[in-house]
Amino acid sequence: MQEDINNLKICMNTMKNDIGYIKDALEDNKEQHKEILEKIEGWIKSSKKEFAPKWVADAMKYIIGAFAIALIAKFMNLI
């Protein structure tokens, strides 16, 4: 019985150490998470400056779509 209690104490001590390591790792992850969020926010700010507005992208889609439809119609007339 005493041996079982000693084994239980050893296991509990090991679990306590493991939980401490997990806690430390989580705190490190919080710092890394903050750094990643800051990098993402910086990228978003810079991408808004570098990319064209949404209406330009929509206009390009319509122009390309119209060109593709015209091209398909031209091939259909040849057949």
Query: Which one, of 42, 21, 40, lies nearest residue 32 by Cα?
Result: 40
3-state DSSP helix/strand/coil % of the chain, to nearest 5: 95, 0, 5
pLDDT, residue 69, reads 93
pLDDT, residue 65, reads 93
pTM attached to this predicted model: 0.38
pLDDT, residue 45, reads 81
pLDDT, residue 34, reads 86
Q: List the chain residues with pLDDT less than 50.
A: none
pLDDT, residue 50, reads 66
